[in-house]
Amino acid sequence: MIKLMLKFEQNFPLSQITTLQIGGPARQFVTVYSQEELIEAITYARKNSLPYLVIGGGSNLLVADAGVNKLVIKNEIEGITKLVRFLKVKSGTPLQHLVDYSIAQNLSGLQKLTDIPGSLGGAVYGAAGAYGQTISDYIREVICFDGEKIISLQNDECEFEYRDSIFKRNEFIILEVIFKLEVGEVKKLRKEADEILEKRLVKYPKGIKCPGSFFKNLVAEKLPKEILSRIPKEMIVYGKLPAGSLLEEVGAKGEKLGQIEIADYHANLFINKGDGKASDFYTLAKKYAVKVKEKFGITLEPEVQLINLPPIF
Ligand SMILES: Cc1cc2nc3c(=O)[nH]c(=O)nc-3n(C[C@H](O)[C@H](O)[C@H](O)COP(=O)(O)OP(=O)(O)OC[C@H]3O[C@@H](n4cnc5c(N)ncnc54)[C@H](O)[C@@H]3O)c2cc1C
């Protein structure tokens, strides 16, 4: 029995809430604004044997044109509490709010994550990062719902790796995150963030319809030696071999399929130029991932979450 006033919608077009503006309908859709509502929605789904998917800002999703036969729960549970250097942050808080808040409070450790769209929950799920900083760097504890009860995981229990966490392998829903940040200096932090923002606006101009980088970069030290020996050293950035460089080598830049275009300035950036289709996006991405595999022996892995689409490999 639903006790709270949850507003369920049927056949909700997910293209309305993804940054790519692509995605067919969710069988059911609900937005939640409190932890109680989130747990109520999950409990409702579980009782009715209805699969569910909790999302945040929809900025890392490629949803099939056919949509998804699930209850999609959009998390808008926001709030930040500060205790000296500790911040306790609700998972639906936009990451940018957290970044700006931490800077304003003279706290260092999140400023390089400026301009990454989406919620804190999505960032923790995918271990989001930029310019050598990662959301997990200063996380102390993640409070989550395991489907039945609220539990807490310490940082080392979250299995954070490059764009990876335990949350990609379990069904836990992230509720709140506790950070312990360094003391910083507001002017210096703001300058650092603004310089990054300036660079990012070149790659991601305002209003661009994309899900960020499509494929994960490769951690150089994890690549087999014989593959690494064939890669020019200058291609390695922050210890990563950018997927974009490999895609560029196989001619992906500027390529198109339907309304989907690979940026002519960045081969790992797939843009919806109008009324794009997930099927075209997927076909184009797969085509160039196959070329990379043939040329370099490297299997690219999507960073973006594929919803109701088969794995690329
Ligand atoms: C223009 C642009 C630039 C980007 N730049 C970067 C970048 O520099 N670095 C980077 O790392 N990423 C980048 N991204 C990708 C994206 O913004 C991040 O991955 C972001 O953290 C996703 O958050 P979200 O709330 O939008 O997640 P969503 O897209 O809503 O969901 C992503 C995944 O997280 C899961 N999830 C969401 N919330 C929860 C929760 N509370 N509990 C459990 N699971 C949850 C969802 O089920 C889904 O599987 C960029 C995207 C865009 C559009």
Domain CATH number, residue 66? 3.30.43.10
pLDDT at 2 over 60: no
User: Is 136 contained in some domain?
Assistant: yes
Residues 179, 96 within the same domain = yes
Nearest-angstrom CA–CA distance, 164 and 185 = 30
User: Is 202 contained in some domain?
Assistant: no
* Residue 114 in contact with ligand 1 by CB distance below 6 A: no
What is the pLDDT at residue 3? 59
* Residue 93 in contact with ligand 1 by CB distance below 6 A: no
Task: Say how many domains are in the chain.
Answer: 3
Residue 231: pLDDT band (50, 70, 90) is: confident
Residues 36, 87 within the same domain = no
23, 53, 75: which is the final residue of a domain?
75
Nearest-angstrom CA–CA distance, 228 and 219 = 11
Gap from CA of 213 to ligand 1 centroid (Å): 11
Residue 93: pLDDT band (50, 70, 90) is: very high
- What is the residue-wise DSSP string for 217-245? PEEGGGS-HHHHTTS-GGG-BTTEE-HHH
Q: Could you tell me which of 76, 68, 31, 65 has the C-alpha nearest to residue 52?
A: 68
User: Is 4 contained in some domain?
Assistant: no
Q: Which of 37, 40, 176, 303 is catalytic?
A: 303
Is there a catalytic annotation at residue 171? Answer: no
What is the pLDDT at residue 52? 98
Residues 165, 185 within the same domain = yes
46, 75, 104: which is the final residue of a domain?
75
Question: Mean pLDDT across the stretch 163-178?
Answer: 97
Q: Which of 15, 91, 136, 213 is catalytic?
A: 213
33, 56, 75: which is the final residue of a domain?
75
Mean pLDDT of the chain: 96
* Residue 210 in contact with ligand 1 by CB distance below 6 A: yes
Pairing status of strand 240-241 against strand 256-257: unpaired
User: Is 249 contained in some domain?
Assistant: yes
Which residue in the block uniquely carries the two structure tokens 């002519």?
A: 264
Gap from CA of 51 to ligand 1 centroid (Å): 20
Residues 105, 179 within the same domain = yes
Question: How large a percentage of the chain has pLDDT more than 70?
Answer: 99
Is there a catalytic annotation at residue 229? Answer: no
* Residue 128 in contact with ligand 1 by CB distance below 6 A: yes
Residues 41, 131 within the same domain = no
Gap from CA of 111 to ligand 1 centroid (Å): 17
pLDDT single digits (tens) 5-62: 899 999 999 999 999 999 999 999 999 999 999 999 999 999 999 999 999 999 999 9
Question: Mean pLDDT across the stretch 204-221?
Answer: 96
User: Is 60 contained in some domain?
Assistant: yes
The domain that holds 237 is classified in CATH as 3.90.78.10
Residues 135, 228 within the same domain = no
Residues 49, 141 within the same domain = no
What's the domain range around 281?
Answer: 213-307
Question: How large a percentage of the chain has pLDDT more than 90?
Answer: 93
Q: Is the pTM of this model over 0.85?
A: yes
Which residue in the block uniquely carries the two structure tokens 């102390």?
A: 140
Is there a catalytic annotation at residue 221? Answer: no
Gap from CA of 120 to ligand 1 centroid (Å): 8
* Residue 296 in contact with ligand 1 by CB distance below 6 A: no
Which helix (H) or strand (E) element contains residue 39? helix 35-47
User: Is 312 contained in some domain?
Assistant: no
The domain that holds 123 is classified in CATH as 3.30.465.10
Indicate which residue's Cα is closest to atom 46 of ligand 1: 55
Pocket mutation for ligand 1, best pick of 55, 110, 143, 151 (most atoms within 8 Å of C-beta): 55
What is the pLDDT at residue 230? 84
Report the nearest atom of ligand 1 relative to the CA of 163.
Answer: 11
pLDDT at 292 over 90: yes
What is the pLDDT at residue 4? 66
Which residue in the block uniquely carries the two structure tokens 């959301």?
A: 135
Residues 97, 172 within the same domain = yes
Pocket mutation for ligand 1, best pick of 60, 63, 308 (most atoms within 8 Å of C-beta): 60
* Residue 117 in contact with ligand 1 by CB distance below 6 A: yes
What is the pLDDT at residue 105? 97
Residues 232, 300 within the same domain = yes
What is the pLDDT at residue 239? 87
Residues 166, 95 within the same domain = yes
Q: Is 99 helix (H, G, I), strand (E, B) or coil?
A: helix
Which helix (H) or strand (E) element contains residue 292? helix 278-296
- Asked if residue 259 lies in contact with residue 65, where contact means CB atoms within 8 angstroms, the answer is no
User: Is 265 contained in some domain?
Assistant: yes
Residue 237: pLDDT band (50, 70, 90) is: confident
* Residue 57 in contact with ligand 1 by CB distance below 6 A: yes
Report the nearest atom of ligand 1 relative to the CA of 53.
Answer: 47
Residues 70, 87 within the same domain = no
What is the pLDDT at residue 5? 84
Residues 223, 296 within the same domain = yes
User: Is 248 contained in some domain?
Assistant: yes
